[in-house]
């Protein structure tokens, strides 16, 4: 591991000022991904600014929804009464993520900032446009079983590994970001990026900005399910996952929200499938039709060909499980 300086920030302003001063500095929250990246030589910050003392660990009800501070631990959010009562889909996604030990350390903000688990990204002997722009992509033509089927580019076919982010995308959350000059808000669906020609950029956060909270608006979704398909039930990243949320009245779908994980460089919202479900009976035929629509434009890369078959089945299954 390269040498680095360590600073502990006690205020938001001090944390941001320290980051602005050093373009190679990074924030340290739970460290569950960042420290691994540093040990492997993938990321070499000149300075870590520890933000664990910042007062950003509250979960509060607002007039329009829930505000979850960026430093709330994943395990605390998963078990919180307000999250369970108002957003059971999010609780399910939290509990599907990582292991209990990791959830105890990992924060909401850190979860959003975690990087892909593409093995070539972590192997500094291999080409990877995300780690070293212009070096090539080891996964295209290499081993790509975990990789994207939507929204990939010729530069990168990696997927975003989070479960929490998939649920927050389906729930139309908003991210609050503090910067050196002002605060701004961004729709959760616009926070992460597709790889395009800049796969080194995972999201739209600028250097000097700090995620302070996510806000989830109340909704009328009556039936939800988070389905995660993975190699080990105990602890593994998703081969793919589906966040399904419906409003069903008298057997008819009044509203549908669908997002997938493990299929794209960002949580993948299934907007066309949602439209197709609206007004339809909550039955197998509607679910399968929506799943087929969701798969339009999907493309696989060899080892992940199985996802083209698994994904529509998973969408239909998540809708079925949500509807009961």
Q: Judged by CB, which is closer to ligand SF4: 114, or 116?
A: 116
Q: Judged by CB, which is closer to ligand SF4: 128, or 294?
A: 128
What minimum distance in Å lies between the beta carbon of 235 and ligand SF4?
21
Tokens of 2: 């390269």
What minimum distance in Å lies between the beta carbon of 143 and ligand SF4?
10
DSSP string, 176-243: EEE-SS-EEEEEGGGTB---TT-TT--BSPPTT-EEEEEEEE-----EEEEEEE-S-SSS---SEEEE
Distance set, CA 76 to CA 33, 94, 170, 179, 268 (Å): 19, 10, 21, 26, 26
- Beta strand 47-50 with 65-69 is unpaired
Count helices and strands (H / E) in the chain.
Answer: 12, 12
Tokens of 121: 């990204």
What minimum distance in Å lies between the beta carbon of 237 and ligand SF4?
14
What minimum distance in Å lies between the beta carbon of 16 and ligand SF4?
29
What minimum distance in Å lies between the beta carbon of 295 and ligand SF4?
21
Half-sphere exposure of 195 (CA within 13 A, CB side): 27
Q: Judged by CB, which is closer to ligand SF4: 128, or 213?
A: 128
What minimum distance in Å lies between the beta carbon of 120 and ligand SF4?
3
Under the rule (CB under 6 A), what is the footprint of ligand SF4? Answer: 116, 118, 120-121, 128-130, 137-139, 156-158, 199
Q: Judged by CB, which is closer to ligand SF4: 128, or 256?
A: 128
Q: Judged by CB, which is closer to ligand SF4: 147, or 225?
A: 147
Closest CA to 286 of 259, 263, 254: 254
- C-alpha 3 chain-centroid distance: 30
Return d(Cα 218, Cα 61) in angstroms, integer: 10
Q: Judged by CB, which is closer to ligand SF4: 129, or 241?
A: 129
């Amino acid at each position: 591991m390269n040498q680095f300086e360590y600073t502990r920030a006690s205020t938001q302003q001090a944390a941001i000022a320290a980051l602005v001063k050093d373009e190679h500095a990074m924030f340290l929250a739970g460290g569950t991904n960042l420290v691994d990246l540093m040990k492997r030589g993938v990321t070499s910050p000149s300075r870590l600014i520890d933000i664990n003392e910042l007062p950003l660990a509250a979960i509060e009800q607002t007039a329009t929804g829930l505000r979850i501070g960026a430093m709330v631990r994943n395990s605390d959010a998963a078990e919180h009464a307000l999250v369970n009562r108002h957003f059971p889909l999010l609780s399910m996604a939290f509990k599907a993520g990582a292991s209990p030990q990791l959830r105890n350390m990992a924060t909401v903000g850190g979860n959003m900032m975690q990087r892909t688990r593409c093995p070539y990204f972590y192997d500094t002997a291999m080409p990877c446009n995300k780690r070293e722009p212009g070096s090539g992509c080891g996964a295209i033509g290499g081993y790509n079983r975990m990789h994207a089927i939507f929204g990939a580019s010729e530069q990168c076919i990696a997927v975003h590994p989070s479960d929490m982010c998939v649920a927050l995308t389906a729930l139309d959350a908003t991210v609050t970001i503090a910067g050196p000059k002002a605060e701004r808000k961004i729709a959760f669906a616009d926070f992460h990026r597709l790889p395009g020609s800049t796969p080194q950029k995972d999201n739209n956060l600028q250097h000097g900005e700090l995620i302070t909270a996510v806000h989830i608006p109340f909704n009328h979704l009556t039936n939800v399910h988070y389905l995660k398909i993975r190699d080990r039930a105990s602890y593994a990243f998703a081969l793919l996952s589906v966040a399904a949320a419906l409003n069903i009245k008298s057997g008819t779908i009044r509203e549908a929200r669908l997002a997938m994980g493990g299929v794209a460089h960002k949580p993948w919202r299934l907007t066309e499938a949602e439209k197709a479900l609206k007004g339809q009976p909550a039955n197998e035929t509607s679910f399968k039709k929506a799943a087929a629509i969701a798969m339009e434009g999907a493309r696989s890369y060899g080892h992940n060909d199985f996802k083209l078959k698994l994904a529509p089945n998973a969408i239909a299954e998540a809708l079925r499980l949500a509807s009961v």
